[in-house]
Amino acid sequence: MTVGWMRGAILGRENTAVPRTVIKFGGSLLGRARWPDELRALLADCSGPTTIVVGGGAVVDGLRAIDAASPRPAVMMHRLAIKAMGITARVVADAATLPLSAVQACDDRAVVLDAAAWLAHARRCDELPIGWHVTSDSIAAVVAAASDARLLLAKSVPPPTPPGDLASLAREGWVDDHFPVAAAELERIEWAAPQDVIPRSSR
């Protein structure tokens, strides 16, 4: 079976020249049997320094479930969720044979970002509010804004058709509630979803 992605633009023109790329690789994609091949296919279409921010997926979903059943301090759960992203990042780095890094890519080699370490440097974590309304979507947007990179949101389902503005995507639940603020300075945002999923407009 061919590995492929549906692609599209959310913000910015097709010919917008942005030399760096940040890929938010959704944690839900890690439940797909061929996700390492799918990630490699995404990377093959990227040029220049590419930084991968991996979502927390089922690991963070477990923390959400624990917090929903018996709420814990918001700051503690927020920090644990970011640490959980480190688990999925390590899995992705190992499977894709990529370096796990506390800094963004600075050459043509792709890296998987250790989000907790990156956010801890110079207290970048202070830029993010505390709560479940902030996810790896917003973290990836903050990473992209820090290096004037384009942001590619790779998720298990495509955005609503048409994508609309960032606020509408947040209302639809395709990105987190804080994303419109975190991504406000970005010049280009794109999306990708596996070709074998059913677009929302067809459901």
Number of domains, the chain:
2
> Average pLDDT of 114-125?
90
- How many residues would you count in the chain? 203
CB atoms within 10 A of CB 100: 18
Degrees (nearest 5) of the Cα angle 130, 127, 10? 95
Over pLDDT 90: what percentage of the chain?
80
Q: Are residues 120 and 190 in the same domain?
A: no
Query: What is the DSSP annotation of 41-89?
Result: HHHHT--S-EEEEE--HHHHHHHHHHHHHS---HHHHHHHHHHHHHHHH
Is the residue at 181 inside a domain? yes
Pick the last residue of a domain from 79, 103, 132.
Answer: 132
Is the residue at 176 inside a domain? yes
Structural domain for 81, as ranges: 54-132
Q: Are residues 68 and 102 in the same domain?
A: yes
Over the stretch 144-189, which tens digit does the pLDDT of each residue have?
Answer: 999 999 999 999 999 987 777 899 999 999 999 999 999 999 999 9
Tell me the C-alpha to C-alpha distance, in Å, between residue 103 and each of 14, 144, 198.
28, 12, 36
Q: Are residues 157 and 107 in the same domain?
A: no
Q: Work out the mean pLDDT of the chain and round it to a whole number.
A: 92
**pTM (2 decimals)?**
0.93
Over the stretch 36-76, which tens digit does the pLDDT of each residue have?
Answer: 999 999 999 898 999 999 999 999 999 999 999 999 999 99
What's residue 125's pLDDT?
84
Over pLDDT 70: what percentage of the chain?
93
Is the residue at 101 inside a domain? yes
Is the residue at 98 inside a domain? yes
Tell me the C-alpha to C-alpha distance, in Å, between residue 93 and each of 89, 100, 125.
6, 6, 23
Whole-number Å distance between alpha carbons of 120 and 140? 15
- Three-state DSSP at 187 gives coil
